[in-house]
Amino acid sequence: MKSEIHPNYQEVVFLDVQTNHKFIIRSTVQSRETIDIDNKTYPLFKCDVTSKSHPFYTGAQTRIVETGRVEKFRARFSNIKGINKNK
Protein backbone atom coordinates (compact mmCIF):
# COMPACT_ATOMS: atom_id res chain seq x y z
CA MET A 1 0.00 0.00 0.00
CA LYS A 2 1.15 3.50 -0.69
CA SER A 3 1.62 5.61 2.37
CA GLU A 4 -0.31 8.83 3.06
CA ILE A 5 -3.00 8.33 0.40
CA HIS A 6 -5.52 6.50 2.58
CA PRO A 7 -7.91 8.23 5.00
CA ASN A 8 -7.50 7.81 8.74
CA TYR A 9 -9.41 4.66 9.75
CA GLN A 10 -10.18 4.91 13.46
CA GLU A 11 -12.75 4.11 16.12
CA VAL A 12 -15.59 6.65 16.13
CA VAL A 13 -18.61 7.03 18.41
CA PHE A 14 -21.90 7.40 16.55
CA LEU A 15 -24.65 9.05 18.62
CA ASP A 16 -28.34 8.76 17.72
CA VAL A 17 -29.70 12.17 18.74
CA GLN A 18 -33.29 10.88 18.99
CA THR A 19 -32.62 8.02 21.41
CA ASN A 20 -29.17 8.98 22.80
CA HIS A 21 -27.93 5.49 21.85
CA LYS A 22 -24.15 5.38 21.30
CA PHE A 23 -22.10 2.78 19.50
CA ILE A 24 -18.43 2.57 18.62
CA ILE A 25 -17.37 1.45 15.19
CA ARG A 26 -14.34 1.97 13.00
CA SER A 27 -14.82 4.57 10.29
CA THR A 28 -13.08 7.20 8.18
CA VAL A 29 -15.58 9.91 9.09
CA GLN A 30 -14.04 13.22 10.20
CA SER A 31 -15.44 15.10 13.20
CA ARG A 32 -14.43 18.10 15.28
CA GLU A 33 -16.39 16.94 18.33
CA THR A 34 -15.05 14.36 20.77
CA ILE A 35 -16.46 12.29 23.60
CA ASP A 36 -14.85 10.45 26.52
CA ILE A 37 -15.96 6.87 27.12
CA ASP A 38 -14.13 4.65 29.62
CA ASN A 39 -11.28 7.18 29.95
CA LYS A 40 -10.65 7.15 26.21
CA THR A 41 -11.36 10.01 23.83
CA TYR A 42 -13.17 9.23 20.57
CA PRO A 43 -14.35 11.44 17.70
CA LEU A 44 -18.13 11.94 17.91
CA PHE A 45 -20.49 11.79 14.93
CA LYS A 46 -24.15 12.72 15.55
CA CYS A 47 -26.74 10.81 13.49
CA ASP A 48 -30.35 11.84 13.00
CA VAL A 49 -31.55 8.29 12.35
CA THR A 50 -30.08 4.89 13.19
CA SER A 51 -31.49 1.39 13.51
CA LYS A 52 -32.55 2.24 17.10
CA SER A 53 -34.84 5.08 15.94
CA HIS A 54 -35.86 4.31 12.34
CA PRO A 55 -39.50 3.17 12.07
CA PHE A 56 -38.64 0.25 9.80
CA TYR A 57 -36.26 -1.29 12.34
CA THR A 58 -38.35 -0.44 15.43
CA GLY A 59 -41.47 -2.05 13.93
CA ALA A 60 -43.63 1.09 13.88
CA GLN A 61 -43.71 1.30 10.09
CA THR A 62 -44.62 -2.34 9.46
CA ARG A 63 -47.64 -2.19 11.77
CA ILE A 64 -49.10 0.73 9.85
CA VAL A 65 -48.51 -0.94 6.48
CA GLU A 66 -49.97 -4.28 7.60
CA THR A 67 -53.07 -2.63 9.06
CA GLY A 68 -53.70 -0.85 5.77
CA ARG A 69 -53.26 -4.06 3.78
CA VAL A 70 -55.73 -6.02 5.92
CA GLU A 71 -58.34 -3.28 5.66
CA LYS A 72 -57.92 -3.10 1.87
CA PHE A 73 -58.23 -6.88 1.58
CA ARG A 74 -61.41 -6.98 3.68
CA ALA A 75 -62.95 -4.08 1.73
CA ARG A 76 -62.12 -5.70 -1.61
CA PHE A 77 -63.47 -9.16 -0.81
CA SER A 78 -66.32 -8.33 1.57
CA ASN A 79 -68.88 -8.29 -1.27
CA ILE A 80 -68.08 -11.78 -2.59
CA LYS A 81 -70.82 -14.28 -1.80
CA GLY A 82 -70.06 -17.82 -0.72
CA ILE A 83 -67.25 -16.90 1.65
CA ASN A 84 -67.80 -18.22 5.15
CA LYS A 85 -67.32 -15.25 7.49
CA ASN A 86 -67.06 -17.46 10.58
CA LYS A 87 -63.60 -18.78 9.67
The four Cα atoms 34, 36, 40, 42 give a dihedral, to 10 degrees, of -30
pLDDT at 70: 77
Question: Across residues 8-13, what is the average pLDDT?
Answer: 93
pLDDT in tens, 14-61: 999 888 999 999 999 999 999 999 999 999 999 988 888 777 767 765
- Per-residue confidence (pLDDT) for residue 83, from 0 to 100: 58
